[in-house]
């Protein structure tokens, strides 16, 4: 233990400011405290009070032990001697030409990397630890490679996954080198497992439907000690997997040749391969390939992305293709990285679904489900007079999607009608998570320019950079009003103009309506005239009393007084929707309930609509929307 | 879908060595050595991170990205320094603590090549930039675009605060237990242990370990029905804590072997 202590103290010096880290985290405390219960935080009321005191103690203690940065660097550099190990390392780039043996048929395809991801946590890792021998044995054999890789999964190469794995002894989970060193694994075993790798590679199905297994490797006399059981009819299980995963319609059209191919292929092993198998199947079908989609009209263009309407050749469904250009100087745009990593985890009926990701040399294409309109177009199309029933339904769906995000500590940060997509059934979905963030530790100031000016809460307009879920709720209030009244609530063109409009309507903040503003330098500097609040009834006369109440709760100046998405869903305004709506599972649309029906919008003029649908069957081409000044340029399907 | 880059674009500035493609040489690679290499690289990352004034959270994210990458890929196939450097820039994007790629390159280059003059040539910089952009996509693809992971930092802070109220103030103030715990948390990112346990468990184990180091006992713990770690994290067992601690000690052992 002493040893440890001594060494600890060594590294203690090497750290950056403990105090900084602590205080940086301390800022988060207020926000995080509401989540304390989930964190296993003891919720004794007495404890909470003393906590800030304890922290300042921690800070002061930390400062004492800190050493100047320069010294740290010095000590590091002395130790930083590069041993002989380095010389063994092959640069990423130098390693590259070796890949050429994975190129086949002269195609200029690049397999992501030689043995990319042959291992995931649940799998044994002997492939990984014996890359060298694996490769050597590989030599001279023809291997197929995947046309491209599907990105939904952790980089696992599709081609690995179709072949049954051997039955495994108890040592299997150990890395190869360890097993060898323990002497438990005999040479013979070693060879057989190496061979299995090869079979793995070769078991990959060719695109022409033949299995390579029979063609180049038969002289190896490979046999694998595998027992197989078939549980489901192949075809059914496959379609189920796919539809479940990608929320495609149940009647997905799998290409006939694909299904034929499946029946020729080695049968699926059961159990733990299922995930990999599904992945492989998805790729085999055509996910992750640009060839699987036809580009149609261009829908819009932003600073780094262009959105096209497209059609999937696999499902015949329309999709939105968001093409992100990659020649940007700073690498992949940070919004794109965040959008992908967030959307992959969000599965909800009111959040746009990310079907697929396609990677090419010059661009990254995200394939989203296609929805005909955004809320702005919807309102335009019905002459800005929406049925009040639909207002309620849309608002509820918006809150539902948002509540799901907020529960997972994700802020949208850019709510506006252009980012709310609506399909012909009236389902509303949140889109454009480019500015959204996983709300982990609020470590730093978020960039100030995030929410489109019209829907930006006053605290952010006044320079607040520490915000939480209420930042989205103000925007909900604005959108709610806009749907009811048919015009934007605060269409300001500059920050000052925006604030002015807000205060003119809702009254200039006073100590009792917004305590925080009284000390805000920006607010005092602007020196706004005194306005009395206008009653909300005058603003949106069509809105019923419960709705007025909800709107006023959303449009609170003080961020922490704003109603949360979860509470808002329980507001009496939604009582007319019935009790069942609160019990729906996340992935079910509210229109699965019989009592929920879209109404006809009074302002909507159309002759081509049948039944109760309020929108044309044929999707209109979504020409780029004229964005008001100050709007974020970014545009999503 | 073709490669994100072509061989001619590649640059080997981050690597001091020339090509060692000889398979027999590669095979000699040893698991223990690999851990050492990772340790060294993470230290290089941490050093660069300090110079770049990164905070603990993006630093931890960078280390996690790095470790995850090499738990999927083979070390010998990539230049770990490049991966480490790219992980730093990727983490800064993920955690929204923006760093300019140029700064990252310059700082990392200086950290890596202490004996060489700073990077001056624009073409070299451009090459490295290009390499990093490609590498960034590669990493994201390898990680399946899943670049966020819950970190133990916030938990540790919560735990420290509540435990500080519980333990006698004189003892608490006399010992640098907070700094120890925090430093230990930072250090454990040198090893793969950071990937193998939940954030809450890591935080509890770090706290347990630092209490142990200073011989502090949580008051009344031996009489308590629910041990203090159970209060913080319901699903943790003492064996698990000890298991994590052993792994943390392994990381410190690595340092000695360097």
What CA–CA distance (Å, rounded) separates B2 from A245?
26
The predicted structure's pLDDT at residue A303: 64
Question: Quick check: A190 pLDDT over 50?
Answer: no
* Sign of torsion over alpha carbons B39, B45, B51, B57: negative
A32 to chain B, any CB pair closer than 8 A? The answer is: yes
Q: Residues 6 or more apart from A84 whose CB is under 8 A from it? A: none
> Would you say A305 and A365 are in contact if contact means Cβ atoms under 8 Å apart?
no
> Would you say A433 and B86 are in contact if contact means Cβ atoms under 8 Å apart?
no
* Least confident among A37-51, A272-286, B48-62: A37-51
Higher pLDDT, B251 or A446: B251
Spatial CA neighbour of B123 closest among B13, B18, B5, B48: B13
State whether A58 and B82 contact (CB < 8 Å). Answer: no
Question: Quick check: A206 pLDDT over 50?
Answer: no
What CA–CA distance (Å, rounded) separates A475 from B31?
54
What CA–CA distance (Å, rounded) separates A325 from A362?
6
Question: Quick check: B17 pLDDT over 50?
Answer: no
Question: Quick check: A223 pLDDT over 60?
Answer: no
A494 is a domain residue: yes
State whether B148 and A341 contact (CB < 8 Å). Answer: yes
Provide the pLDDT confidence category of residue A317 given band limits of 50, 70 and 90.
confident
> Would you say B139 and B65 are in contact if contact means Cβ atoms under 8 Å apart?
yes
Question: Quick check: A37 pLDDT over 70?
Answer: no
State whether B140 and A332 contact (CB < 8 Å). Answer: yes
Exposure string of B149-171, with b = 16+ CB inside 10 Å and e = fewer, is: bebbbbbbbbbbbbbbbbbeeee
Q: What does the pLDDT look like over A399-411, one tens digit per residue?
A: 999 999 999 888 8
What CA–CA distance (Å, rounded) separates A451 from A416?
8
> Would you say A366 and A382 are in contact if contact means Cβ atoms under 8 Å apart?
no
Q: Of residues A414, A432, A459, A472, which has the active-site annotation?
A: A414
Give the end of a domain, one of A592, A612, A632.
A592
The predicted structure's pLDDT at residue A459: 87
Query: Apex CA A352: angle with CA A348 and CA A353, to 5°?
Result: 80
Query: Which tokens go with A283?
Result: 């790729």
Contacts of B37 in chain A (CB under 8 A): 85-86, 89
A63 to chain B, any CB pair closer than 8 A? The answer is: no
Of the partner residues A14, A96, A326, the one whose CB lies closest to the CB of residue B7: A96
The predicted structure's pLDDT at residue A247: 40
Question: Quick check: B207 pLDDT over 60?
Answer: yes
> Would you say A401 and A394 are in contact if contact means Cβ atoms under 8 Å apart?
no
Per-residue pLDDT, averaged over A100-126, amounts to 34
What CA–CA distance (Å, rounded) separates A592 from A571?
21
Q: How many CB pairs under 8 A join A and B?
A: 351
The predicted structure's pLDDT at residue A84: 32
Distance of CA A38 to the CA centre of its chain: 22
Domain hosting A239: range is 123-212+234-285
A5 is a domain residue: no
* Least confident among A22-26, A181-185, A325-329: A181-185
Provide the pLDDT confidence category of residue A4 given band limits of 50, 70 and 90.
low
Question: Quick check: B205 pLDDT over 90?
Answer: yes
The predicted structure's pLDDT at residue A624: 33
Measure in Å the smallest separation between the Cα of A19 and chain B Cα atoms: 9
Q: What does the pLDDT look like over B28-38, one tens digit per residue?
A: 445 668 888 99
A41 to chain B, any CB pair closer than 8 A? The answer is: yes
Interface of A with B in 422-461 (CB under 8 A): 437-438, 440-441, 443-444, 446-447
User: How buried is residue A135: exposed, middle or buried, by Cβ count under 10 Å (0-12/13-18/19+)?
Assistant: buried
State whether A441 and B154 contact (CB < 8 Å). Answer: yes
Give the end of a domain, one of A575, A592, A609.
A592
Per-residue pLDDT, averaged over A432-439, amounts to 62
Distance of CA A542 to the CA centre of its chain: 37
| ipTM score | 0.73
Query: Which tokens go with A182?
Result: 């323990």
- CA distance to A500, A541, B225, per residue, from A538 (Å): 18, 6, 61
Of the partner residues A4, A15, A133, the one whose CB lies closest to the CB of residue B249: A4
State whether B133 and A326 contact (CB < 8 Å). Answer: yes
Distance of CA B242 to the CA centre of its chain: 21
Annotated binding site of A for ATP: 322
Query: Apex CA A91: angle with CA A89 and CA A95, to 5°?
Result: 105
Same domain, A405 and A277: no
* Least confident among A298-307, B67-76, B246-255: A298-307
A104 is a domain residue: no
Q: Which residue of B has its CA nearest to A19?
A: B179
Interface probe, candidates A6, A34, A92, A118, chain B, greatest B C-beta count within 10 A = A92
What is the CB neighbour count within 10 angstroms for residue A133?
A: 17
What CA–CA distance (Å, rounded) separates A393 from A276?
39
The predicted structure's pLDDT at residue A302: 66
Spatial CA neighbour of A23 closest among A443, A438, A448, A465: A443
Question: All domains of chain B, ordered by start, with CATH?
Answer: 31-142 (1.10.472.10), 153-257 (1.10.472.10)
What CA–CA distance (Å, rounded) separates A577 from A392?
9
Bridge partners (DSSP) listed for residue A169: none
Question: Quick check: A351 pLDDT over 50?
Answer: yes
Q: Read off φ and ψ for residue A354, nearest 5 degrees.
A: -95, 110
The predicted structure's pLDDT at residue A452: 67
Q: Which residue of B has its CA nearest to A44?
A: B162
- CA distance to A402, A572, A589, B172, per residue, from A586 (Å): 12, 21, 8, 46
> Would you say A354 and A368 are in contact if contact means Cβ atoms under 8 Å apart?
yes
A45 is a domain residue: no
* Sign of torsion over alpha carbons A491, A495, A497, A499: positive
A135 is a domain residue: yes
Provide the pLDDT confidence category of residue A395 given band limits of 50, 70 and 90.
very high
The rounded mean pLDDT for chain A is: 62
Interface of A with B in 349-388 (CB under 8 A): 357-361, 364
Q: What CATH number does residue A448 fall under? A: 1.10.510.10
The predicted structure's pLDDT at residue A473: 94
Supply the DSSP symbol for A454. Answer: G
A46 is a domain residue: no
Q: Which residue of B has its CA nearest to A135?
A: B23
A413 is a domain residue: yes
Q: Read off φ and ψ for residue A428, nearest 5 degrees.
A: -105, 135
Question: Quick check: A420 pLDDT over 50?
Answer: yes
Q: What does the pLDDT look like over B135-192, one tens digit per residue?
A: 988 898 889 888 888 899 999 999 998 888 888 888 888 888 888 999 999 999 999 9
What is the CB neighbour count within 10 angstroms for residue A68?
A: 9
What is the CB neighbour count within 10 angstroms for residue A427?
A: 18
What CA–CA distance (Å, rounded) separates A338 from B91?
11
Same domain, A381 and A278: no
Contacts of B104 in chain A (CB under 8 A): none
Q: For this structure, is A153 an active site residue? A: no
* Sign of torsion over alpha carbons A67, A71, A76, A78: negative
State whether B1 and A332 contact (CB < 8 Å). Answer: no
User: Virtual CA dihedral for B187, B192, B196, B200, nearest 10 degrees?
Assistant: 10
In chain A, the number of structural domains is 2
State whether B74 and A39 contact (CB < 8 Å). Answer: no
Question: What do you get for the CA distance between the two ends of chain B, in Å?
Answer: 42
Per-residue pLDDT, averaged over A548-577, amounts to 94
> Would you say B154 and B36 are in contact if contact means Cβ atoms under 8 Å apart?
no
Question: Quick check: A141 pLDDT over 50?
Answer: no
Same domain, A568 and A429: yes
State whether B232 and A40 contact (CB < 8 Å). Answer: yes
User: How buried is residue B103: exposed, middle or buried, by Cβ count under 10 Å (0-12/13-18/19+)?
Assistant: middle
Per-residue pLDDT, averaged over A619-626, amounts to 34
Q: Read off φ and ψ for residue B20, nearest 5 degrees.
A: -130, 75
Annotated binding site of A: 322
Bridge partners (DSSP) listed for residue A411: A437
The predicted structure's pLDDT at residue A474: 94
A80 is a domain residue: no
Same domain, A377 and A281: no
Q: Which of A45-59, A176-190, B106-120 has the highest mean pLDDT?
A: B106-120
């Amino acid at each position: 233990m002493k040893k440890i202590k001594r060494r600890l103290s060594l590294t203690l010096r090497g750290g950056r400011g403990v105090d900084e880290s602590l205080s940086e985290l301390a800022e988060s405390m207020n926000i995080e405290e509401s989540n304390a219960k989930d964190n296993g935080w003891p919720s004794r009321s007495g404890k909470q009070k003393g906590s800030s005191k304890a922290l300042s103690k921690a800070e002061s203690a930390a400062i004492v032990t800190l050493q100047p940065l320069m010294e740290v660097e010095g000590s590091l550099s002395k130790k930083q001697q590069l041993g002989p190990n380095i010389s063994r390392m092959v640069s990423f780039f130098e390693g590259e030409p070796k890949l050429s043996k994975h190129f086949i048929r002269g195609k200029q395809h690049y397999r992501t990397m030689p043995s990319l991801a042959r291992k995931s946590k649940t799998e044994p890792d002997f492939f990984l630890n014996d890359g060298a021998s694996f490769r050597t044995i590989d030599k001279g054999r023809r291997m197929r490679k995947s046309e491209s890789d599907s990105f939904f999964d952790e980089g696992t190469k599709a081609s690995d996954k179709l072949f049954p794995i051997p039955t495994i002894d108890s040592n299997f989970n150990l890395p190869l080198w360890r097993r060898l060193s323990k002497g438990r694994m005999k040479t013979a075993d070693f060879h057989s497992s190496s061979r299995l790798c090869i079979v793995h590679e070769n078991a990959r199905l060719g695109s022409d439907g033949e299995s390579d297994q029979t063609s180049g490797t038969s002289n190896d006399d490979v046999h694998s000690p595998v027992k197989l059981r078939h549980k489901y009819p192949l075809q059914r299980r496959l379609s189920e997997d796919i539809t479940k995963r990608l929320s495609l319609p149940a009647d997905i059209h799998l290409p006939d040749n694909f299904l034929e191919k499946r029946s020729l292929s080695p049968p699926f092993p059961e159990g733990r391969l299922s995930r990999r198998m599904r992945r492989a199947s998805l790729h085999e079908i055509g996910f992750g390939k640009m060839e699987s989609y036809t580009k149609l009209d261009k829908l819009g263009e932003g600073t780094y992305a262009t959105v096209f309407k497209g059609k999937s050749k696999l499902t015949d469904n329309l999709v939105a293709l968001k093409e992100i250009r990659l020649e940007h100087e700073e690498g992949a745009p940070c919004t794109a990285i965040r959008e992908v990593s967030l959307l992959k985890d969000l599965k909800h009926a009111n959040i746009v679904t990310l079907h697929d990701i396609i990677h090419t040399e010059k661009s990254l294409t995200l394939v989203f489900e296609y929805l005909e309109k955004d809320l702005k177009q919807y309102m335009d199309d019905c002459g800005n007079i929406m049925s009040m029933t639909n207002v309620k339904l849309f608002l509820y769906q918006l809150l539902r999607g948002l509540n799901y995000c907020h529960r997972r500590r994700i802020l949208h940060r850019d709510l506006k009608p252009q980012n709310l997509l609506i399909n012909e059934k009236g389902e509303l979905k949140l889109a454009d998570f480019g500015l959204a963030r996983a709300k982990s530790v609020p470590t730093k100031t978020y960039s100030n320019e995030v929410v489109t000016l019209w829907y930006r809460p006053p605290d952010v307009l006044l320079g607040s950079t520490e915000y939480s879920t209420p930042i989205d709720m103000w925007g909900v209030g604005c959108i709610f009003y806009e749907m009811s009244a048919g015009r934007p609530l605060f269409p300001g063109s500059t920050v000052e103009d925006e604030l002015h409009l807000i205060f003119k309507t809702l009254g200039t903040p006073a100590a009792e309506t917004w305590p925080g503003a009284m000390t805000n330098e920006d607010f005092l500097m602007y020196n706004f005239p005194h306005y009395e609040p206008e009653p909300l009834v005058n603003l949106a006369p069509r809105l019923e009393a419960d709705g007025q109440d909800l709107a006023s709760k959303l449009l609170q100046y003080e961020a922490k007084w704003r109603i949360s998405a979860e509470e808002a869903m329980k507001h009496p305004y939604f009582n007319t929707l019935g009790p069942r709506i609160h019990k729906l599972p996340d992935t079910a649309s509210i229109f699965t309930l019989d009592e929920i029906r879209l109404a006809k919008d009074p302002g909507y003029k159309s002759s081509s609509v049948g039944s109760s649908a309020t929108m044309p069957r044929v999707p209109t081409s979504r020409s780029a929307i004229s964005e008001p000044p100050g709007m974020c340029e970014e545009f999503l399907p | 879908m073709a490669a994100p880059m072509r061989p001619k674009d590649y640059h080997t500035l981050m690597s001091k060595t020339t090509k060692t493609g000889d398979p027999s040489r590669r095979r000699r690679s040893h698991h223990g050595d690999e851990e050492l290499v990772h340790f060294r690289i993470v230290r290089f990352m941490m050093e660069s991170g300090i110079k770049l004034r990164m905070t603990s959270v993006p630093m931890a994210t960078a280390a996690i990205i790095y470790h995850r990458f090499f738990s999927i890929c083979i070390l010998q196939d990539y230049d770990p320094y490049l991966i480490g450097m790219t992980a730093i820039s990727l983490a800064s994007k993920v955690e929204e603590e923006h760093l300019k790629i140029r700064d990252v390159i310059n700082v990392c280059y200086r950290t890596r090549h202490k004996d060489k003059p700073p990077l001056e040539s624009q073409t070299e910089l451009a090459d490295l930039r290009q390499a990093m952009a490609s590498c960034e996509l590669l990493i994201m693809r390898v990680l399946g675009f899943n670049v966020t992971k819950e970190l133990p930092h916030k938990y540790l802070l919560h735990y420290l605060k509540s435990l500080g109220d519980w333990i006698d103030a004189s003892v608490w103030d006399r010992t640098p237990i907070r700094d120890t715990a925090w430093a230990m948390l930072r250090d454990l990112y040198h090893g793969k242990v950071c990937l193998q346990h939940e954030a809450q468990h890591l935080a509890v184990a770090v706290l347990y370990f630092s209490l142990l180091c200073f011989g502090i006992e949580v008051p009344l713990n031996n009489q308590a029905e629910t041990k203090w770690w159970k209060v913080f994290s319901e699903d943790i067992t003492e064996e698990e804590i000890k298991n994590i601690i052993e792994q943390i000690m392994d990381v410190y052992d690595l340092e000695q072997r360097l």
